[in-house]
Amino acid sequence: MSAGGVMRWRVVLELAGADGTRQVHEVGAGERPPAGHTAATLGLGLEEGKAILAAVQRHLVAVQIDEHCSSRRRCNRCGAQRPLKDLRRRGLTSLFGVVEVRAPRFGPCRCGVASRRTITPVAEIMPDRCTPEYERVVAAMGAALPYHRALTLLGEFFPLGGTPLRSKQRGSGPCGSAPGSSARRWHHRKRLLRRLRRARSRWASTPAT
Ligand SMILES: [Zn+2]
């Protein structure tokens, strides 16, 4: 694309759900002057790359979580929808950002035949609220560096920071810029650090291969 002597680009993510639904999201956009290139202006910069990764991650996770929740909402005995009890939010910490997801709780089905429990489908698939990959990479880095250094260094290359709670609308530019951390997120980060510190001591006592 070009307009007014400026080269413009945008990255669009197309998601096809298992139920046939299709979503299209803009995950990155930018512009470059048409001339006067230098090595520094060629291609993507680190921050642009991180913002795109964070936006892709946010949309992918949201779709997967929604699919899991709707499949769990269906009663496996009568096929009816379990009633919605409430809707909360949970954060998933991953190498590609902290993704805020909708976490509905469903009450027992009215048929009374299936399980009488209230279920939280999101808690079933992300009980630790972080991906094993994130935990593994931070533990590996943390074995060689003090934790905050490890996280800072990882943050140089990965969009670890928080992502906006709500998706930006189309046309509002690249997503994934890091807003201030909420107290809850900070508390979660501290809890995670404690657990990862234990992982580090295990890691450090394992001979390198
Ligand atoms: Zn039922």
Question: Residues 6 or more apart from 189 whose CB is under 8 A from it?
Answer: 93, 181
β-pair type (84-94, 22-32): unpaired
The pLDDT of residue 37 is 85
Count the domains in the chain: 1
| Residue 1 counted as domain residue | no
| Residue 162 counted as domain residue | yes
Q: For residues 54 and 56, what is the distance between their CA atoms, to the nearest angstrom?
A: 6
Ligand 1 midpoint to CA 74 (Å)? 8
**Which residue type does 174 have?**
P
The pLDDT of residue 200 is 62
The pLDDT of residue 170 is 35
Ligand 1 midpoint to CA 108 (Å)? 8
| Residue 209 counted as domain residue | no
Q: Are 181 and 121 in contact (CB under 8 A)?
A: no
The pLDDT of residue 103 is 97
The pLDDT of residue 101 is 95
Q: Could you list the residue range(s) of the whole structural domain that residue 165 is in?
A: 7-204
Ligand 1 midpoint to CA 66 (Å)? 20
| Residue 104 counted as domain residue | yes
| Residue 49 counted as domain residue | yes
Q: Can you list the pairs that 19-22 forms with residues at least 24 positions away whose Cβ atoms lie under 8 Å?
A: 19/67
The pLDDT of residue 161 is 79
Ligand 1 midpoint to CA 75 (Å)? 5
pLDDT in tens, the chain (209 residues): 555 688 899 999 999 988 889 999 999 999 988 888 888 889 999 999 999 999 999 999 999 999 999 999 999 899 999 999 999 999 999 999 999 999 999 999 999 887 789 999 999 999 989 999 998 898 888 888 888 888 899 999 999 875 333 333 333 333 333 333 455 556 656 666 666 666 666 666 665 54
Of 58, 120, 88, 91, the closest CA to residue 189 belongs to 91
| Residue 2 counted as domain residue | no
Q: What angle do CA 177, 185, 137 make, to 5 degrees?
A: 75
Ligand 1 midpoint to CA 73 (Å)? 10
Ligand 1 midpoint to CA 118 (Å)? 13
